[in-house]
Every structure is written in C-alpha cells, then in structure tokens.
Structure 1
C-alpha cells in the first residue's frame, strides 16, 4: 500500500489523494456503523464535502469506495513494463535482452498493483470488520477481479505474441486471478486451510508496509505452489 509522503506532491495531486482517502475512510466508517445499505452516496459526499459528480470521478459504486477500488484501470500504469518484459519486446527491441518468465512477470505486476493502492494507513481494523460483515463487498471484489482477469488476458496475449482470445492467455489470466483471490482470502482470514481468526487478529495492528509484505509473501507462496504443480 502506498505510503509515499505527500510533501513532494503538487497541490492538485495532494488534493486528489486527500479526497480519495476521505471518501474511502468515511465509506468504511459509515459501513461499520450502519451497514452497507445504511447510507447513500449523497450522505457520504455530504460527510466528505464533495459533490456526487466528484464521487464518480473516483469510484463507480459505493462498494468500490469501501474497497478503495478506483474507477481507473489499476493495471494501466504497469502495463507497458509488463509488455516490455516479454518475448515480443525482446525480439523486436535492441540488443539481446532476455524476456522475464511469464510467471515472474505476472507476480511482479500483481504486487505492483497492490502496492499502488492508496489505502489510508489507519483503517486496517475497520477494513477487516466491514469485509467480514458485508458479503456484498466480497461479491464486488470478485466482479472487479473478473474484469481485471479479462484485461490481464489481453495483456498476456500481447506480451506473448498471441492472438486476442487465445486459450493460453485466457487460462494464464484465470490462474493468476484465482491465485490472487486465494491470497486475498487468506490475507483477510477467509481462506480454507488456515486459521482465519489468527490471520484476522494478526492483521489488526499491521502498518501498511507490513500488510504489503504479508500479502506479497502469501501471493508468492501460492504462485510457487502453482509452479510446483505444473512441474510434476
């Protein structure tokens, strides 16, 4: 999760981050206090002091505000680096650069997307509460993950020099999406085969850096398990 200081940012970017953080924090507080259906977008906007139009510049739904899931494609800032690490770029670029293995490139991409999330650093406990109490949030997260899966499949096809809709690209994106969701479930204490209560309790006092490190470790672990499976 992004912990960069705001002192080095320009006024416009600083205001954007402050508005994003305020909307997300208030959405989680209202959800914890009233439930997801206990407040409207208008009430959230009034609490933050922004217009409904401003809200939709940041989020597509109320659920997305609670999750901190921006309307913008989270893969976009890292897409070119992902493409540049592949065999198509290596074949067409200067010199004899070796492509990064697809598994490693996908893992790095997902870690980068997670690290770029601007989750306010003081709301980990509240986030845990609302995630456990509101099934609609997990449903929305899954819907968003499916869209990201389609976007990732398109990137994989381009990186590997495959036609759009290629079954390999679709399968690779589906596997990465499943591994990502499995890691999130363990991260939030929902996963099978782990002590959910212990996972959730240990996360309450985490700093954003600790949370990022824990999620990265979980994600790396499940990617490594998947690699072992396909090597047998």
Structure 2
C-alpha cells in the first residue's frame, strides 16, 4: 500500500472517530437535558452536522448513541488467542506449551479488549447525567454486562477444559468483570461521575490513555492474585 492510500485510510478513520464521538457526546447532552423522548434523531443529526443516513451507519437507535454501543463484544476478536494459551489447547497440541496461567491470560485479554474501546474521558459527566435521566439506559447497560459476563464464563470453561456451565467459570468471570469495571472507574476518576470537570486526563492522547489504563488493570489484577495467594 502506498503512502497516499495509507494517509487516506488514516484520514477516514479519524473522521469516523470524530463523527462517532460527536454523535455520542451530543446524544448524551440532549438526553441529560431533555430525556430520550425530548429530541429526535433528526435534531441530533442537525446538532452534529450529519445526515440521518450517517447516523444509522453508526447506531441503530438513540439509546445506542447515548451508550456508545458497539454490536460486537470487544473480547471476541481476542478469544482465539486466549483459548490457545490454555491447558485444553495444550493437551490437543494446538496451543502454548506450557500453557499460560489463567490470571495472566485474563489480564492480557482485558488489556487487549480495553485498548479497542472509544473511551469517553471528556464527557463522563454528561454520560452519567444521561444515565440518571433515563434509568432504562442503566438497566440496558447492566443487561449487556451480564450477557458479556456469561460469554466470558463460557470462554474460560472452554479454555480450562471444563463443562460450559461449570460454576468455576462463572465465579472467575464475575470477579474479573468487576475488576475491569473498577479499573475503568479508576481510569476515568471516581469524581468524574459527579464533577463537570473532566480533569487533566481528558487531554491525554489515545496511546497515553491506553497505557495508563493497562497499568491500572495490571495493578488491580495483581491485587486479586494476592487475595488467592497466587
């Protein structure tokens, strides 16, 4: 690929990210101020300066725009590598020998998955105002988290060579899901839920932010290891 083509791809990706960010930011502000029923998709598009068709290239509903919802599970693209590092794959000769410890593989999985997220550092305040304005959004977010936690539990059981409904997978998935959420809250700053000031972290580059988030995840996972004497 020549430099011009690479530059065009970079420009398109930047525009995509800018449009995505503008739609989520304005959807959150409008929801916080008026509620979900207080504005139309057309009004949101006018605020952002895009067409209705462009909106539906990113989101299916206003709710999705507020949540910044992605249809794909962020862990799914890394599932194959996670499975290949486990004891089940080592037994059949398709994975790592020796296998990677589960706690280390989970940490790497979360770091990889979190690195793909569009992290709403600057508009956390409006995001949380929107959640409080529309409790249904909070319930939907919780339902999505439970679905992904269940998928992670099944993935853990598959990696460890266990039955899909083994309670061990559920317990580990519950623990690391809470670790991930706690790490994310620590990343954005707990005061960010109540403060209109996004803090100095809002000026971080994406690479700096992801490096800091990876460090927080690593630290919190190490504390969990100490809990079990590992």
Q: What's the TM-score once normalised by structure 2's chain length?
A: 0.77
Q: Distance in 2 between matches of 1:151 and 1:99?
A: 22
How many pairs are equivalent? 217
Q: Distance in 2 between matches of 1:157 and 1:108?
A: 17
Counterpart contact for 1:83–1:155, Cα < 8 Å: yes
Gapped runs of 5+ residues in structure 1? none
> Which residue of structure 2 lines up, in the alignment, with residue 83 of structure 1?
83
2:225 counterpart of 1:223:
no
For residue 29 of structure 1, the aligned residue among 13, 26, 29 is: 26
Q: Distance in 2 between matches of 1:6 and 1:30?
A: 34
SS in 2 for 1:90: helix
> How far 1:166 moved relative to its partner?
0.7
2:36 counterpart of 1:39:
no
Moved more, 16-25 or 173-182: 16-25
SS in 1 for 2:217: helix
Cα distance, 1:177–1:59 mapped onto 2, change above 3 Å: farther
Cα distance, 1:50–1:33 mapped onto 2, change above 3 Å: closer
> How far 1:68 moved relative to its partner?
2.9
Moved more, 91-100 or 143-152: 91-100
Gapped runs of 5+ residues in structure 2? none
> Which residue of structure 1 lines up, in the alignment, with residue 201 of structure 2?
203
Q: Distance in 2 between matches of 1:128 and 1:102?
A: 32
Q: Distance in 1 between matches of 2:148 and 2:168?
A: 16
Q: Which structure has the bigger radius of gyration?
A: 2
Moved more, 218-227 or 29-38: 29-38
Q: What's the TM-score once normalised by structure 1's chain length?
A: 0.76
> Which residue of structure 2 lines up, in the alignment, with residue 152 of structure 1?
152
Counterpart contact for 2:153–2:173, Cα < 8 Å: yes
Counterpart contact for 2:29–2:130, Cα < 8 Å: no
> How far 1:187 moved relative to its partner?
1.9
Counterpart contact for 2:86–2:95, Cα < 8 Å: no
Taking only aligned residues, the RMSD between alpha carbons, in angstroms, comes to: 3.4
Cα distance, 1:205–1:83 mapped onto 2, change above 3 Å: same
> Which residue of structure 2 lines up, in the alignment, with residue 49 of structure 1?
51
> How far 1:82 moved relative to its partner?
0.6
Cα distance, 1:105–1:9 mapped onto 2, change above 3 Å: farther
> Which residue of structure 1 lines up, in the alignment, with residue 129 of structure 2?
133
> Which residue of structure 1 lines up, in the alignment, with residue 109 of structure 2?
109
Counterpart contact for 1:27–1:44, Cα < 8 Å: no
SS in 1 for 2:228: helix
> How far 1:32 moved relative to its partner?
2.5
Q: Distance in 1 between matches of 2:226 and 2:7?
A: 43
Counterpart contact for 2:121–2:201, Cα < 8 Å: yes
